């Protein structure tokens, strides 16, 4: 399944997309047919000279999460609700998105795409 980016927001230092995992107050569109899943919060913060901190809300329906940077997997599968990215170039924009999957591997939630310039 090819996932479509729902929202692109560029920021200089810190980004926070409001929502609520599980009982989401927003939905993220993932397909060209209008399919949507509950949204989860994603915060992207510069956490020092060589690291970017990603934190997201837990989703009670998600068993694992996949983190993407610019549409490619940064973390293939994790049960954690935060990761640190330390493999980037300065003066470059990076866009992150998190996807939640249930025990059967079905997509059950997603964050909006959040971008940061480092």
| Domains of the chain as residue ranges with CATH | 14-117 (2.60.40.10)
How far is the C-alpha of 28 from the C-alpha of 93, rounded, in Å?
Answer: 22
Residue with tokens 């920021």: 11
Written as six digits, the tokens of 57 are 């809300």
- List beta partners, residue 99: 66, 110
Q: Would strands 114-117 and 82-85 be described as parallel, antiparallel, or unpaired? A: unpaired
Query: Whole-prediction pTM value?
Result: 0.77
Please report, in tens digits, the pLDDT of each residue of the chain (118 residues total). Answer: 434 333 332 222 233 333 333 445 788 887 777 788 999 999 999 998 889 999 999 999 999 999 999 999 999 999 999 999 999 988 999 999 999 999 999 999 999 999 999 8
CB 98 within 8 A of CB 107: no
3-state secondary structure of 114: strand
């Amino acid at each position: 399944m090819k996932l479509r980016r729902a929202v692109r927001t560029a920021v200089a230092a810190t980004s926070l997309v409001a929502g609520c995992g599980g009982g989401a107050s927003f939905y993220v569109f993932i397909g060209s047919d209008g399919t949507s899943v509950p949204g989860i919060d994603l915060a992207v913060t510069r956490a020092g000279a060589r690291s970017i901190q990603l934190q997201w809300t837990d989703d009670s329906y998600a068993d694992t999460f996949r983190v993407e940077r610019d549409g490619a997997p940064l973390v293939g599968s994790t049960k954690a609700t935060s990761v640190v990215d330390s493999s980037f170039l300065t003066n470059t924009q990076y866009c992150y998105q998190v996807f939640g999957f249930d025990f059967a591997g079905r997509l059950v939630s997603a964050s909006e795409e959040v971008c940061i310039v480092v």
